[in-house]
Chains A and B, each alone.
Chain A
Amino acid sequence: AQTVTQSQPEMSVQEAETVTLSCTYDTSESDYYLFWYKQPPSRQMILVIRQEAYKQQNATENRFSVNFQKAAKSFSLKISDSQLGDAAMYFCAYRSIGSQGNLIFGKGTKLSVKP
């Protein structure tokens, strides 16, 4: 069975600085999808970025980018120019190609942004 591990329960960053959130996963599959979700205090789950395992190029979405290391089974999220609105729980998630859409989540990292 696949597992997702987020080893940093909490992180803190100064406004305008850069922070990296870590995620590792365990799988025997060669093709899969990886995601980062943001959950602000409102509880709403918001998709931040996705990565297809067959793509070598790291995904980017504005200030958010990933460092995808397939051999190391690592999928970190980098947030550049951090803003107060980035403060939230961040969840890493894995989805098998044949899972019919089911997501496997890590336990989350709580990010605080200091003004």
Chain B
Amino acid sequence: NAGVTQTPKFQVLKTGQSMTLQCAQDMNHEYMSWYRQDPGMGLRLIHYSVGAGITDQGEVPNGYNVSRSTTEDFPLRLLSAAPSQTSVYFCASSYSPTHSTDTQYFGPGTRLTVL
């Protein structure tokens, strides 16, 4: 049981390049989400999914795309990277987020720098 895994751990991009941040979980969780963490800003929700084929926007979705073709995977795509997307990205998952005892599990994060 690997929990929530993210790849890569670090990435440097040039402005305008595209890339996909990978997130996978092996806990059969229905809910998955992406957050970004900027200095002094806490974590902010980018996109989330409540099951395969279902995605929705969070607080800061501009510049990012997501899809959920399987329960296990929830990739985050940057189509044309901008310096404002320099951040640490976290993926999280949980089994039943509306239940009071549900726990969200976070991945180790990806540090992305856009030059």
Interface set of A (CB-CB < 8 Å, partner B): 4, 9, 33, 42-45, 47, 50, 52, 91, 95, 97-108
Count contacts on B: residues with CB < 8 A to the other chain. 26
Leading 4 A-B pairs by shortest Cβ distance: A101-B97, A45-B106, A105-B42, A105-B43
A33–B97 CA distance with the chains assembled, in angstroms: 11
Specify which of A42, A43, A100, A105 is in contact with B98 (CB 8 Å cutoff).
A100
How far apart are B75's CB and chain A's nearest CB, in angstroms? 19
Closest chain-A Cβ to B100's Cβ sits at a distance in Å of 5
Stretch in B14-22, B44-52, B65-73, B78-86 touching the partner:
B44-52
| From B31, B40, B104, residue with most partner A Cβ within 10 Å | B104
In the bound complex, residues from chain B placing their C-beta under 8 Å from that of A97 are 98
Contact A108 B42, beta carbon cutoff 8 Å = yes
Chain A to chain B contacts (Cβ below 8 Å), 30 pairs: A9-B40, A33-B100, A42-B108, A43-B88, A44-B109, A45-B43, A45-B90, A45-B92, A52-B100, A91-B42, A95-B97, A98-B98, A99-B97, A100-B31, A100-B56, A101-B33, A101-B48, A101-B50, A101-B97, A101-B104, A102-B33, A102-B48, A103-B43, A103-B45, A103-B92, A103-B104, A104-B45, A105-B42, A106-B42, A107-B40
The prevalent SS among residues of B at the interface is strand
Binding site secondary structure of chain A: loop
A9 and B47 CA atoms in complex are apart in Å by 27
A92 to chain B, nearest CB (A): 9
Greatest chain A CB density within 10 A among B88, B94, B100 is at: B100
Bound-state Cα–Cα, A45 to B43, Å: 11
- Name B38's closest neighbour in chain A (CB-CB): A107
Could you say which residues of chain B place their CB within 8 Å of the CB of A45?
43, 90, 92, 106
Asked if B58 and A101 sit within 8 Å, CB to CB, the answer is no
